[in-house]
Structure 1
């Protein structure tokens, strides 16, 4: 019986019970009993309605249902050789909430471009003048060492004027090729232009890296350039302990000695080359009171010694240095600047959809005035 129907029946009963005549007394007793019965039904319906909206007990998980099933209990006890059970449905939102998908379902954020590795800064080549040439060889006329004889002198009136002389020699060199190859797929070139550009950059960087190493330490044999640290291309400092003026000599004194030696050759030093590790050691030098010569931990010393800028580069070996008038010491002869080309017709590229990248430079390098460079071992002589 619906709640509204019970309520209407109770109203009708109450209306009849208001009639208190003698004729209705027996009827009143019957109606009272019926009212009690309907009231109980009404209370029961209300209680059921409350239960309908009350929160339900949390559903058991699949694992709990399996563990508590009689079939599993019998299997555990050894009275059954297998266990099979049918599980009640479990709503996913009750015990299996929706979580962030993993395993690539949701696309991860990708940082744009390519995270570059380390690139060594290039500094040495820029210290020298660069002259373009249109041949595979270069040459120049050089004054011989000690080739100038100065005959100028005061002369009496009518006397013979003195002669001077200058000796010359022809110096020649050849252009060398420094090249670098890489191979990438054609699909990569079409689908990932940023990655392809980065690969190109690395190929170009490799050529410039090799050029700087050649200008620094090339031995001049075969296809190698002749670098500034090659014997004959610079003046060794050959300092003795007495040359540094004191028994408390430091590396700072040695560098000043090399600078002075260049000035004695009539050149003007404009830079000092050394490895970053050695510059760090120089910054650590302290006097007898433990005060830093060049800096303090609260500040950063400018890379400069004796009025000259210090150029730090890993191209220079640890514990070596070079002071020089680099603009007068030598020349970079450029036949062809950096050239980058892409080829499909190389080896089996066509069969494999590959592209070959080639980067190269053609250049020469020559030291014309070894007296403008002075350096060697960056160690205080023991005697």
Structure 2
């Protein structure tokens, strides 16, 4: 069901409890690594989750989102995506690209000159903006596919990330071992699917 909160969790390997007592920073390190991995997983689900089982229904799987076909080059295509929203009176608030696609956009060259576009470029590398719209980079997107969202078109809801330790897994209690579980309840709610544009950044079928 779209918008339904689902649990996304990571579980650590068993760790000797005395190691945690002897090395004060170990517990914090393990928790930080689990949180990092969880955030990466949730980000991928928010964008590309297929909605099956415990998977979130991500933006790319949402019915009713707009599609912007590749046009000439990534810069032109991105600008046309902005127009799709502005034609509806909507305000574009953020692009999302894969790391490789954003690199391609940042390194765009003036046609025929071979020089990097610095003057009059729609790319603001320092502020990470494209045509004045903020850009986020996510490994959760496949190369060749970007997303542009408008204000109030997507809502992410969650109950906050929690990390808990337990010895109640398998034989952990018998062997003086504990594990950490990091989890969050998250959902994607496309409040206005027509305010989301999925962008073909390379024209590959």
Give your verdict on TM over 0.5. Answer: yes
> Do residues 375 (structure 1) and 198 (structure 2) align?
yes
* Distance in 2 (alpha carbons) for counterparts of 1:377 and 1:220: 22
Aligned residue in 2 for 1:320: 145
| One of 203, 207, 222 as aligned partner of 2:38 | 207
Give SS of 1:205's match: helix
- The corresponding residue for 2:172 is 349
Structure-1 residue corresponding to 2:29: 198
Higher helix share: 1
Asked if 1:265 corresponds to 2:95, the answer is no
Q: Which runs of 5+ in 2 are unaligned?
A: none
Q: Distance in 1 between matches of 2:173 and 2:104?
A: 54
**TM-score, with structure 1 as normaliser:** 0.48
- Cα pair distance change 1:271/1:173, threshold 3 Å: closer
In structure 2, the CA distance between the partners of 1:287 and 1:196, relative to structure 1 (3 Å rule), is: same
For residues 202 and 167 of structure 2, the distance between their equivalents in structure 1, rounded to whole angstroms, comes to 53
What residue ranges of structure 1 are gaps of 5+ in the alignment?
1-170, 242-248
Which residue of 117, 121, 125 maps to 1:293?
117
Task: Indicate yes or no: 2:15 matched with 1:184.
Answer: yes
The structure richer in strand per residue is: 2
Following superposition, the deviation at residue 189 of structure 1 comes to 0.9
C-alpha separation between the residues in 2 aligned to 1:221 and 1:174?
12
- Partner of 1:317, secondary structure, is coil
Aligned length: 198
> Who is 1:361 aligned against?
184
**Per-residue CA shift, 1:164-208, capped at 9, x if unaligned?**
xxxxxxx97422111111121111111112122211211222222
Contact 1:294 1:301 in 2 (8 A): no
Preserved CA contact (<8 Å) 1:181 1:358 = yes
Asked if structure 1 preserves the Cα contact closer than 8 Å seen for 2:148 and 2:199, the reply is no
Secondary structure class of the residue paired with 1:229: helix
Deviation at 1:256, TM superposition (A): 0.7
Equivalent residue, structure 2, for 1:329: 153
> What CA RMSD, in Å, does the superposition of the two structures yield over aligned residues?
2.4
